[in-house]
Amino acid sequence: MKPGAENPALYRTLKDVLERQVEVISVRFEPDAIQKRYLAAEIDPQRVVPPTGSESPQLEVHWKLTPPHDEFRIDYADPNLEFHCGWHQDEDHDDLGVAHFQYQTASMETPHYEGAVFEAESPPKLLWECCGNLFETVIPDYTAEL
């Protein structure tokens, strides 16, 4: 497999990680199960603390194996609150380090960015760490003011 390519085996493992999240209703490969370019998870808005409304938030995971650091995007969007956040490890915002966290609310004209450091190193553990942070800290803390 060439560097920077999507890895179907990795996506199957990451899909399993997402399916283990209690907030997740369903996970699907996009654009389909053959191409597997990214994962899209539907979130139950009533399982999110605090509950956010009637429309299902979405969580997307894009991952490419690229040495020395994988490139990934873990993005959460809640249409009920017009809240978007995510962790990105890519070539954007090099001034913040290898990875960054960003969020935006309806009242913000531009997203807020901050550097991110992870304890986990493997893709499944890193996704698990981000999901835990998302559902246990980010959503309750960042949406409390909305």
Per-residue pLDDT at 52? 86
pLDDT of residue 1: 43
What 8-state DSSP symbol labels residue 57? P
Q: How far apart are CA 29 and CA 8, in angstroms?
A: 10
pLDDT means per 10 residues, the chain with 146 residues, are 63 95 94 77 94 94 88 96 94 87 93 95 95 96 77
Query: How many CA atoms does the CB half-sphere of 83 hold within 13 Å?
Result: 20
Tell me the chain's radius of gyration from C-alpha atoms.
Answer: 15
36 backbone φψ class: left, alpha, beta (φ>0; ψ -120 to 50): left
Structure confidence at residue 33 (pLDDT): 64
Which residues, 6+ apart, have CB-to-CB distance to 49 below 8 Å? 135, 139, 140
pLDDT of residue 8: 76
Q: Tell me what pLDDT residue 2 has.
A: 46
